[in-house]
């Protein structure tokens, strides 16, 4: 990897993952792409997976260009389908030589009150956010990590106070939280750590495109409920993921890191309002990569 063309930056040592191989699902945009970029900039070989074949190939080339890391591969995969996952894992081992890290980032949901939710819609979100990540964990375990160890990070969402208008994803993410804890115990003796990252309000281009104008209209309301008084960035989530994958977190398993600017501390009955301020900006190292995702 040529460091002279590396346009990405990280707070971590540049070669920390130089002997590692990673899979990032949902790696073609948003949080997933930010994670893949940071892993690649830190030396890891990376496979990014997505259902959109054209998009995933374009993203792989983009990550190569941003990081200068040539060992980036895009593989089409529908995580809801076992055979598709088996193909992804086999192809990844063939291309990378192994799988040290798995980041279960792929998922999807749509706002809908339960009274209007169809069984089809419910199943679609459960399959994306619970069933698919389970298949990924199981296949990576069976094919590589059972014999070689590794580290898994699941991207969840805040669900502990319920998830109005998103009951399907709340149920799925709650299930993934329990699966994270269960696997951390069952697989510890195989040398596998399993943790989670829980992002708060992270704003990026693909998210705005997905949810549309109705979502953007409430963003300022959400911002005022965050003690940090701003939205989070994809790179701030990727930093937490890279920490959990690294040896710095070698005594962490079955845990989760909340990356939300303190948002979950503000309850509907809270009498305290955080004054308007701009004292907690994003780290400056993000500036190198922000515009390229």
Q: What pLDDT, on the 0 to 100 scale, is given for residue 94?
A: 98
Residue 52 has pLDDT above 80, yes or no: yes
Does residue 74 fall inside a structural domain?
Answer: yes
Find the length of the chain. Answer: 293
pLDDT digits (tens, 9 = 90+) for 58-89: 999 999 999 999 999 999 999 999 999 999 99
Residue 284 has pLDDT above 80, yes or no: no
Tell me if 280 is assigned to some domain: no
pLDDT at 215: 63
Position with higher pLDDT, 169 vs 254: 254
DSSP labels for 204-228?
Answer: -HHHHHHH-HHHHTTHHHHHHTSTT
Nearest to 240 by CA among 174, 158, 155: 155
Whether 287 has a pLDDT exceeding 70, the answer reads no
Residue 267 counted as domain residue: no
Q: How far is Cα of residue 140 from the mean position of the Cα atoms in its chain?
A: 17
pLDDT at 291: 42
Mean pLDDT of the chain: 88
Alpha helices in the chain (DSSP H): 30-41, 53-67, 82-96, 119-126, 132-140, 146-148, 167-186, 205-211, 213-216, 219-224, 234-245
Residue 268 belongs to a domain: no
pLDDT at 3: 41
For residue 119, what are the domain limits?
16-203+233-261
Question: 77: domain CATH number?
Answer: 3.40.50.720
In a domain, 251, yes or no: yes
Residue 289 has pLDDT above 60, yes or no: no
The pLDDT of residue 10: 87
198 pairs with which residues across the strands?
A: 258
Q: What is the mean pLDDT of residues 225-254?
A: 94
CA atoms of 60 and 75, how far apart (whole Å): 9
Euclidean distance between CA atoms 200 and 156, whole angstroms: 10
Q: What are 90-106's pLDDT values in tens digits?
A: 999 999 999 999 999 99
Q: Please enumerate in sequence order all residues whose Cβ is within 8 A of that of 275, keeping only pairs 6 or more positions apart, or say none.
A: none
pLDDT band of residue 211 (cuts 50, 70, 90) is low
* Between residues 149 and 169, the one the model is more confident about: 149
Q: Is it the case that residue 247 has pLDDT exceeding 90? A: yes
Is 224 inside a domain boundary? Answer: no
Q: What's the structural domain count of the chain?
A: 1
Residue 8 lies in a domain: no
């Amino acid at each position: 990897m040529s460091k002279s063309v590396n346009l990405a930056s990280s707070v971590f040592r540049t070669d920390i993952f130089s002997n590692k191989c990673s899979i990032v699902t949902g790696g073609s945009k948003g949080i997933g792409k930010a994670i893949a970029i940071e892993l690649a900039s830190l030396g890891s070989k990376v496979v990014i997976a997505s259902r959109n074949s054209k998009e995933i190939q374009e993203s792989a080339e983009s990550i190569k260009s941003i990081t200068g890391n040539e060992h980036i591969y895009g593989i089409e995969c529908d995580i809801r389908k076992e055979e598709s996952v088996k193909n992804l894992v086999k192809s990844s081992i063939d291309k990378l030589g192994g799988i040290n890290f798995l980041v279960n980032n792929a998922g999807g949901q749509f706002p809908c009150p339960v009274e209007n939710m169809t069984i089809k819609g419910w199943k679609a979100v459960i399959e994306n956010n619970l069933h698919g990540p389970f298949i990924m964990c199981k296949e990576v375990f069976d094919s590589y990590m059972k014999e070689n160890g590794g580290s898994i990070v699941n991207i969840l969402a805040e669900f502990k106070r319920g998830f109005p208008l998103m009951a399907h994803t709340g149920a799925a993410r709650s299930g993934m939280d329990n699966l994270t804890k269960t696997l951390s115990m069952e697989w510890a003796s195989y040398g596998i750590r399993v943790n989670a990252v829980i992002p708060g309000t992270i704003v990026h281009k693909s998210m705005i495109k997905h949810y549309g104008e109705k979502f953007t209209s409430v963003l300022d309301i959400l911002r005022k409920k965050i003690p940090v008084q701003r939205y989070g960035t994809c790179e701030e989530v990727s930093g937490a993921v890279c920490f959990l994958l690294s040896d710095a977190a070698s005594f962490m398993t079955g845990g989760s890191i909340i990356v939300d600017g303190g948002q979950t501390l503000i309850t509907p009955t809270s009498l305290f309002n955080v004054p308007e301020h701009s004292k907690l900006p994003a780290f400056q190292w993000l500036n190198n990569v922000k515009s390229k995702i």
